[in-house]
Amino acid sequence: MNRPVRVLSFESRKADEMRSLIERQGGVAFVAPSMREIPLEENPAALDFARRLLDGEVDVVIFMTGVGARALLEAVETQFDRAQFFAALGRTTNVVRGPKPTVELRSWGVPIHHRAADPNTWREVLAELDAHVALAGAAVAVQEYGEPSDELYAALRHRGAQVLAVPVYRWGLPEDTGPLVEAIRKTVAGEFDVVLVTSAQQIANVVEVARQEGVEDAWRGAVSRCVVASIGPTASDALRSAGLPVHVEASPPKMGQLVQAGLSEARDRFGSSCVS
């Protein structure tokens, strides 16, 4: 019997939007949030960055995410004047990874000197720096986004830069992992055709919960029998590092393109068993 494509997503922040996108493409959506942003209650690294910035000791600032930029400002404002912070940023070279930190910095009235090209990974950030910024001897601050960008840090140090990591929040498991556990069990039971991945950290969290449930190997095997669709290169790297396939990568790296590409691949792969 023909049936709709059954789609699993681990999206958290935009869970409702993801569900709507899947349903508009004719799929049956199961969205199990896999991550929770945990602000750093006390952020000495952010305050140390602000002190160095105000003292003129920072040459380049890389903003990786919009939500991280906002969290950084909130931390800085606990001890420093907003206007002075913005003025100090105006005296540095500011680099943004993608559109969301671009919007944030523009709302601050802070100049943006360089923006990474699509698909906005650390590799494009590095390429932009290599093309336009002298890194040898430069003090480069990097606003982190949940997990340290170890490859970027290593590449910057290799070029002679001094790296100042600025963590503003980290990713934890959802307070209620029930839906995620259910998603893992359903995956093992073969109840999905497509698995959508919108961030690298999702994979680490889902693997952790699958391990806790004692079904890690069974879950990996079941996922490999689905169409695995990735939002972009960073998520794809995380999937492959976890021993999982990447059948489709969204281009451009947007949720709408991800959903469309994943469902299209499933219909091609599974044929008449799946319908629009």
CATH code for the domain of 52: 3.40.50.10090
d(CA 194, CA 259) in angstroms, rounded, equals 9
Confidence of residue 243 (pLDDT cuts 50, 70, 90): very high
Q: How large is the angle between the packed helices 200-212 and 216-224, nearest 10 degrees? A: 130
More confident position, 90 or 252: 90
pLDDT band at 273 (very low <50, low <70, confident <90, very high): low
Tens of pLDDT, residue by residue over 181-216, are 999 999 999 999 999 999 988 999 999 999 999 999
Residues 114, 26 within the same domain:
no
Write down which residue in 147, 171, 195 finishes a domain.
Answer: 171
Of residues 139 and 269, the one with the higher pLDDT is 139
What is d(CA 71, CA 78) in angstroms, rounded to the nearest whole number? 11
**Arithmetic mean of pLDDT over the chain:** 93
The sign of the CA dihedral 207, 8, 199, 251 is: positive
Shared-domain flag, residues 241 and 185:
yes
At residue 130, the pLDDT reads 98
Residues 6+ apart with CB under 8 A from 165: 45, 141, 142, 144, 148, 153
pLDDT tens-digit map of 103-142: 999 999 999 999 999 888 899 999 999 999 999 999 999 9
pLDDT of residue 1: 36
Residue 246: band (very low, low, confident or very high) from pLDDT cuts 50, 70, 90: very high
Between 233 and 28, the higher pLDDT residue = 28
Of 64-73, 134-143, 203-212, 222-231, minimum mean pLDDT range? 64-73
Higher pLDDT, 222 or 71: 222
Domain that holds residue 200: 3-35+175-275
More confident residue, 44 or 176: 176
- Which has more confidence, 17 or 170? 17
pLDDT digits (tens, 9 = 90+) for 170-185: 788 999 999 999 999 9
Shared domain check, 117 and 8: no
Return d(Cα 39, Cα 168) in angstroms, integer. 7
Residues 85, 158, single domain; the answer is yes
User: Are 47 and 136 in the same domain?
Assistant: yes
| Three-state DSSP string of the chain | CCEECEEEECCCCCHHHHHHHHHHCCCEEEECCCCEEEECCCCHHHHHHHHHHHCCCCCEEEECCHHHHHHHHHHHCCCCCHHHHHHHHCCCEEEECCHHHHHHHHHHCCCCCEECCCCCCHHHHHHHHHHHCCCCCCEEEEECCECCCHHHHHHHHHCCCEEEEECCEEEECCCCCHHHHHHHHHHHCCCCCEEEECCHHHHHHHHHHHHHCCCHHHHHHHHHCCEEEECCHHHHHHHHHCCCCCCEECCCCCHHHHHHHHHHHHHHHHHHHEEC
Mean pLDDT of 33-62: 90
| Same-domain status, 85 and 30 | no
Structure tokens at 271: 């044929």
Residues 142 and 259 placed together within one structural domain of the fold? no
Which pTM value belongs to this model? 0.74
Distance, in Å, from the CA atom of 51 to the CA atom of 208, rounded to the nearest integer, reads: 37
Q: In this predicted model, what pLDDT tens digit does every residue of 137-166 receive, in sequence order?
A: 999 999 987 677 889 999 999 999 999 999
**CA–CA separation, 196 vs 190, rounded Å?**
15
- pLDDT band, residue 3 (cuts 50/70/90): confident
In this structure, are 136 and 13 located in the same domain? no
Give the whole-number percent of the chain exceeding pLDDT 90: 77
Domain identity same for 165 and 201: no
For the residues 64-92, what does the mean pLDDT come to? 93
Q: How many distinct structural domains can be found in the chain? A: 2
- Residue 41 is predicted with a pLDDT of 67
